[in-house]
Amino acid sequence: SYVLTQPPSVSVAPGKTARITCGGNNIGSKSVHWYQQRPGQAPVLVIYYDSDRPSGIPERFSGSHSGNTATLTISTVEAGDEADYSCQVWDSSSDHWVFGGGTKLTVL
Amino acid sequence: EVQLLESGGGLVQPGGSLRLSCAASGFTFSGYAMSWVRQAPGKGLEWVSEITYSAGRTYYADSVKGRFTISRDNSKNTLYLQMNSLRAEDTAVYYCAKDSYGYPDHFDYWGPGTLVTVSS
């Protein structure tokens, strides 16, 4: 089965840039979606189709992918960005959705 | 405004059954695929099941296949998840999510979730 690997945690100082990676075999050939989940809340879509932003999501959030890694980049990080971030892809070989294990972003 | 509201969670004994519902409003329910995603305490998101817009196709995670059944009533704008033979490892918050298309695609809206606890 397809596996997505994320680092458990990433820390960044306010105003700096955070990069959260999502590794998977040839993930560059798949569409990657990213979700933000604040404590006690439901997930919110922040990036879809690798790099598109839903309305209402700040331009500070961007996505990219190539080869075996997808990356969610949050520029000029704010305290309110502190949350868990999860990547997602559709595995067409098994007809399953796959989520990464999630990365906890801590704003120092 | 899109709204999704899950109900039906609660405490159930191992081996028992539970049916979750998700009431949808604010969009043309019959035009979109819908999914269930769960999150065990302190763990990450786990996809459970998906159903296409017309219920023509259903998909299940290996961990629930044969025990859970997803269905929908487009006349009532409601999504369901029938959960049988429940195990302790099924304990989680269960979210319903709206796909952005009639077939599997990213989830653009999520409900607040309902807690299912499987314990004796």
pLDDT in tens, A48-81: 999 999 999 999 999 998 889 999 999 999 999 9
In this structure, the strands spanning A9-12 and A103-107 are parallel
Residues of B in contact with A100 (CB under 8 A): 44
pLDDT band at residue B90 using 50, 70 and 90 as cut-offs = very high
Structure tokens at A106: 């801590």
pLDDT in tens, B50-63: 999 999 999 999 99
Average pLDDT over residues A9-30: 96
B113 contacts A96? CB cut-off 8 A: no
CA distance B115 to chain A (A): 12
B113 contacts A42? CB cut-off 8 A: yes
B107 contacts A96? CB cut-off 8 A: no
pLDDT given at position A8:
98
Average pLDDT over residues A4-28: 97
Q: Which of A33, A43, A98 sits opposite B110 (nearest CB)?
A: A43
Q: Which of B45, B110, B111 sits opposite A99 (nearest CB)?
A: B45
Contacts of B30 (CB under 8 A, 6+ apart): B53, B54, B74
A98 contacts B45? CB cut-off 8 A: no
